[in-house]
């Protein structure tokens, strides 16, 4: 099982959606997420969009890097520029890719649907390409 870490700033929208979509759609890959400055909560609209598409799991929550740093990741994906710029050094060499998405936080629910669609269409093929 390959392990992927999806990082953004607050770990409340984009990285949570990315984690959920990878876990739901990509067999043989286990995703985790974290934030460089986690908000401590999942945005209610991020949860709502994942629930609407059958991808929500109660284990998803906002967390910092320290909560997952001990996991031997095969790939780190940053989904916002701030996370890319501040991406830390991992205990072992880990490939990194950046696929940026606009933050839907504070926007209407339709923005979360759009972010969901963009992450599904853009991020999943790139993660899959890294392994298969």
Of 13, 34, 55, 80, which one is the catalytic site residue? 80
Residue 73 near residue 94, CB atoms below 8 Å: yes
Of 8, 13, 34, 55, which one is the catalytic site residue? 8
What are the backbone dihedrals phi and psi of residue 22, each rounded to the nearest 5 degrees, phi first?
Answer: -60, -50
Residue 111 has which token pair? 């923005």
Dihedral class, residue 87 (left if φ above 0, else alpha if ψ from -120 to 50, else beta): beta
Give ∠ CA 23-29-24 in degrees, rounded to 5: 20
DSSP letter assigned to residue 64:
B
Total length of the chain: 132
Of 13, 34, 55, 87, which one is the catalytic site residue? 87
Please confirm, yes or no, whether 13 is among the known catalytic residues.
Answer: no
Please confirm, yes or no, whether 8 is among the known catalytic residues.
Answer: yes
Please confirm, yes or no, whether 34 is among the known catalytic residues.
Answer: no
Q: Which residues are catalytic?
A: 8, 80, 87
């Amino acid at each position: 099982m390959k392990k992927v870490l999806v990082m953004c700033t607050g770990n409340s929208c984009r990285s949570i959606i990315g984690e959920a979509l990878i876990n739901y759609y990509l067999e043989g890959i286990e995703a985790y997420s974290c934030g460089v400055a986690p908000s401590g909560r999942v945005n209610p609209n991020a949860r709502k969009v994942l629930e609407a598409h059958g991808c929500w799991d109660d284990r998803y929550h906002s967390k910092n890097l320290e909560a997952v740093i001990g996991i031997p990741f095969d790939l780190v994906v940053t989904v916002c520029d701030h996370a890319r710029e501040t991406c830390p050094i991992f205990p072992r060499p880990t490939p990194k890719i950046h696929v940026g998405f606009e933050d839907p936080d504070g926007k209407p629910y339709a923005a979360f649907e759009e972010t969901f669609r963009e992450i599904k269409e853009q991020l999943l093929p790139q993660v899959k390409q890294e392994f298969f």
